[in-house]
Structure 1
Amino acid sequence: MDENMQLETVVKGKGKHYAPNKFLNKIKMYGLNLGFKALHGAATLFAALKSPDLPKEQKLMIVGVLGYFILPIDLVADFLPTVGLADDAVIILKALSVIYSSITEEMKEEGHELLKKIFGEKYMPTIEYEI
């Protein structure tokens, strides 16, 4: 099974759990434990959903990925120290790699701004990287 099919299988049906307020609450509670790259990736996916230019298939995948992130019990329960968010981070980063060509600099920047608003001084990206 190719990687895109694996991702679709994991996130299938998880879109019903997605709601912007649920996503923001999960980010506030667990975001700093997610790891910077996955945290910014999640915020970038959240920003990408607003784009009228993003294809519907990609939006559906993002909703499934963010719905998976919101679920407290998934492949690895989120409340487990250290490893609880590892599967979420992998799914988020995989989704970014699948839709990379559709992600704009504006979406990345909107993700940064959202995280600065939520975490204030706690959100200090120290290294630049490419999503």
Structure 2
Amino acid sequence: MKEDMNMDNMIRGKDKHYSDGKFLSKLQKYGVGLGFKTMHAATTLYYGLKSPDMPKQNKLVVLGALGYFIFPLDIVADLLPVVGLTDDVFVITAALAKVYGSITDDMKDDAHRLLKKHLVITIHMK
């Protein structure tokens, strides 16, 4: 019971290190460099975080991965061409593998719709 309350507090305090706006901005800026599969994994995690169906312990894994993704100064700086996003790809992929049993078809479909919208916007902006 106490552990469950502690997880609730951590999830509620996520705004210090993660926000939807920061995630979507980073996806808009660097998403194409990640490749489609990693972008889909990241957006699936994004929708998993929003879902009441995902267990709290898995939400903490997702928060850690997405927080790492949006943080600009990670192990390999995202500003470096080619290699800058390599660590982000690894963290997103590892997080998805860890929580995959909690991922629903609805989460995957929502992620796919967001990517279709994102890719259309990105193509039209260029």
In the superposition, the TM-score normalised over structure 1's length comes to 0.78
Q: 1:38 to 1:15 in 2, by over 3 A?
A: farther
Aligned partner of 1:87 in structure 2 is 87
* Identity rate, percent: 54
Q: Distance in 1 between matches of 2:121 and 2:15?
A: 32
Give the residue type in structure 2 aligned to 1:46. Answer: Y
Aligned partner of 1:48 in structure 2 is 48
CA-to-aligned-CA distance 1:81-112 (integer Å, 9 cap, x gap):
11100100000000111111111111111111
**What SS does the aligned partner of 1:47 have?**
helix
Cα contact 2:76–2:87 (8 A) shared by 1: yes
Q: Distance in 2 between matches of 1:63 and 1:15?
A: 10
Q: Does 2:29 correspond to 1:29?
A: yes
How many equivalent residue pairs?
A: 110
Q: Does 2:104 correspond to 1:104?
A: yes
Give the residue type in structure 1 aligned to 2:30. Answer: Y
The structure in which a higher percent of residues are helix is: 2
Measure how far apart 1:16 and its partner are: 3.5
Q: Distance in 1 between matches of 2:38 and 2:29?
A: 15
Aligned partner of 2:7 in structure 1 is none
Cα contact 2:65–2:91 (8 A) shared by 1: yes
For the aligned residues, what is the CA RMSD? 1.8
**Bigger CA drift: 112-121 or 44-53?**
112-121
Larger Rg: 2
In the superposition, the TM-score normalised over structure 2's length comes to 0.81
Q: Distance in 2 between matches of 1:39 and 1:63?
A: 16
Cα contact 2:28–2:122 (8 A) shared by 1: no
Q: Distance in 2 between matches of 1:69 and 1:43?
A: 12
Q: 1:98 to 1:75 in 2, by over 3 A?
A: same
Runs (5+) with no aligned partner, structure 1: 1-13, 124-131
Aligned partner of 1:118 in structure 2 is 118
Q: Matches of residues 50-65 of structure 1 in structure 2 within 5 Å?
A: 50-65=50-65
